[in-house]
Amino acid sequence: MKHLRSSTLAAAVALTLSGLFAPAQADTLVVGTTQVPRHFNGAIQSGIATFMASAQIFASPLRYDANWTPQPYLAKSWEVADDGLSVTLHLVEGATFHDGVPITSEDVKFSIMTIKANHPFQTMLAPVEDVETPDPLTAVIKLSKPHPALLLAMSPALMPIIPEHIYGEGDIQQNPANLAPVGSGPFKFVEYKQGEYYKLAKNEHFFLDGLPKMDEVIVQIIGDSANLVLATERGDIDMVPFLSGVRDVQRLEKAENVEVSDAGYDAVGALNWIAFNTKKAPFDNPAVRQAIGYATNKDFILQRLLGGVAKDSTGPITGTSPLATEDVEKYAFDLDKAKALLDEAGLTPDADGIRLRATIDYIPGMAEIGRNVVEYMRTQLKQVGIELEVRTAPDFPTWAQRISNYDFDMTEDSVYNWGDPVIGVDRTYISSNIRKGVIWSNTQQYSNAKVDELLAAAAIETDQTKRAALYKEFQQIVVADAPILYINEVPFYTAYKKGLTHLPDTIWGAVSPWDEVEWSK
């Protein structure tokens, strides 16, 4: 019955697509997603749903290739001052917003200062003091200290250049243009039916010659991943980015006329982990946290629960980053070592063999890397005398409120690196970011003065070798302290119809521009 229902819903999706958008233009790209954007202004909103659309509608100063190398975009060239305290951008000539108004350095200044004031990633532009505009095509970003993460922060997902004449009046959070944006990227906004689809059209006056290749993009929102897979199998969907469900990936790998690739996404760096409330006994004792690490059979999780699709995660920086290190404690499965550590912590078994009772939470809606993993841990940790109660949440806000207000013992969580540790890693570990009520801050309440010192030094170190050494020491300390048990890198794949070429396979994957995507001739 469930299969029949899914097939019926998939057929309804196909009818919706054909009814709304037929006859489709020859150069049309139909993208499928489960992500619902609240709005399209990536200058003030984070998350894949907004980033993916924002990167098509807005241009940014730079873009990145698959080798972590910055490439010109709105800025045709740039220089970093010898002292690291300023970055000068030279803008391309003749670039305009979608309404025909020229893009100037004043728009760059407005955008950067807006992002600094409003974006959730507060560390991303923290050292920016001002942006000087000596002429319409030159912007000089002034810094209070060297900021080696700045160039990466100029990527499309993180630094959309928005028009001051559209967004500069009133409260930007309430600006109606957030839902009907005017940008300068490869595609222009056409319409949005919230929760159902949004439609983009080719920017005929895009400043990069010959791009974009597609005449229109239709992003169809299908809330249930099973129905998204069915629609892709039927050929109703051309591309599905950020595909992460293990069974979905395996199914589409077998589908006729569908290709599946994990190329790209290196900078997104989504990690799945088990976090501990380090201020709540007995999880305030590192030995207890380490014991749980040794008692967890990660090979079983990776190979059996996640079907070999997801990669192992061994530390706070994703393995695809040039700043990652393998030289950390791996917590190889060892029940005897786990029991010895629990004994050392004074947690001896009672008459029923129970050493500790605790709760474990997970993000609702994430069955494979959430519910399945914590249910496994509930069963597995009984072998060392830890009795876990799996606590479910009816929705994401409930889970987020519990975790951000420290109402938990252990929780599964999924947190993204977003390219540079300053942007997406530091927030989890620096003691100054222990902010009650704010999810994806330092909700573990982890505090280590040496870690704070290392992260502060690495944030301003411009020598890449020295910077990597600082982050290596940071990773070794954090993994040893074990405020977090790292489980897996969240797999991201792109499924696409055969004949579709030049897919977004840079370090940013599908939150980079789709301007080169085209059908093979």
> Which residues share a beta bridge with 415?
271
Q: Are residues 255 and 158 in the same domain?
A: yes
Q: Is 28 exposed, middle or buried (0-12, 13-18, 19+ CB in 10 A)?
A: middle
Q: Per residue in 350-384, pLDDT tens?
A: 999 999 999 999 999 888 999 999 999 999 999 99
Q: Per residue in 95-107, pLDDT tens?
A: 999 999 999 999 9
Mean pLDDT of 271-287: 98
SS3 per residue for 454-489: HHHHHHHCCCHHHHHHHHHHHHHHHHHHCCEEEEEE
Cβ(190)–Cβ(180) below 8 Å: no
Q: Are residues 177 and 299 in the same domain?
A: no
Whether the per-residue pLDDT at 312 is higher than 90: the answer is: yes
| 30 Cβ contact list (under 8 Å, min separation 6) | 17, 21, 24, 218, 220, 236, 237, 238, 239
Q: Are residues 152 and 282 in the same domain?
A: no
CATH of the domain at 288: 3.10.105.10
Q: Per residue in 430-477, pLDDT tens?
A: 999 999 998 999 999 999 999 999 999 999 999 999 999 999 999 999
Q: Are residues 157 and 291 in the same domain?
A: no
Q: Per residue in 44-64, pLDDT tens?
A: 999 899 999 999 999 999 999
83-92, 221-230, 324-333: segment of lowest average pLDDT: 221-230
Q: Per residue in 107-123, pLDDT tens?
A: 999 999 999 999 989 88
Q: What integer pLDDT is reported at residue 122 of this predicted model? A: 85
Q: Per residue in 476-495, pLDDT tens?
A: 999 999 999 999 999 999 99
Q: Are residues 320 and 200 in the same domain?
A: no
Cβ(231)–Cβ(471) below 8 Å: no
Q: Are residues 244 and 283 in the same domain?
A: no
- Helices 286-295 and 464-481: crossing angle in degrees, nearest 10, is 90
> Which two tokens mark 383?
């072998």
CATH of the domain at 165: 3.40.190.10
Q: Are residues 238 and 288 in the same domain?
A: no
Domain interval for residue 430: 270-489
Q: Are residues 379 and 513 in the same domain?
A: no
pTM reported for the whole predicted model: 0.88
Question: Which value, to the nearest 10 degrees, does the dihedral of the CA atoms of residues 442, 447, 450, 454 take?
Answer: 10
Q: Which of 459, 404, 378, 399 has the alpha carbon at shortest distance from 426? A: 459
Q: Are residues 241 and 296 in the same domain?
A: no
Q: Give residue 521's pLDDT band: very low, low, confident or very high (50, 70, 90).
A: confident
Question: Burial code of 263-291, b = ≥16 C-beta within 10 A, e = fewer?
Answer: ebbbbbbbbbbbbbbbeeebbebbbbbbb
SS3 per residue for 434-457: CCCCCCCCCCCCCCCHHHHHHHHH
Q: Give residue 4's pLDDT band: very low, low, confident or very high (50, 70, 90).
A: very low
Question: Which value, to the nearest 10 degrees, does the dihedral of the CA atoms of residues 163, 164, 165, 170 take?
Answer: 120
Q: Are residues 440 and 359 in the same domain?
A: yes
Q: Are residues 347 and 317 in the same domain?
A: yes
Q: Are residues 234 and 379 in the same domain?
A: no
Q: Per residue in 219-229, pLDDT tens?
A: 999 988 899 99
Total of domains in the chain: 2
